[in-house]
Amino acid sequence: MKPISEKQIALWEKQREKGKWFYILRNTINCAVAAVFSSYLAAWFFGYRSFILLWFIPLYVLVGLLAGMAGWLSNEDKYENYLLEQKIGKRLEF
């Protein structure tokens, strides 16, 4: 796993303060909106009917929810490892 920088730690702490469900909900909405937009753009570009794509919106929301949860768990794991390294580093310094 790639180490996390001080800047990333500060950003994660700010996001973490807002809560887990806020983070997941925001990522879910972002993913669903991006998927719907790109689907309609592809429908316009390739010339197929876009109303059929509305049936996929629940799938987009589900994928966004899973991506949000995975993002939270990944960032939280990196954050906890960073804190553990800081704690171990302080113990080794006399």
Q: Where are the domains of the chain?
A: 6-92
Residue 58 contacts residue 36 (beta carbons within 8 Å): no
pTM (two decimals): 0.80
Tell me what pLDDT residue 1 has: 63
At 55-67, the pLDDT tens digits run 888 999 999 999 9
Tokens found for residue 57: 């919106």
Q: Which residue has the tokens 């009917």?
A: 49
Whether residue 94 has pLDDT greater than 70: no
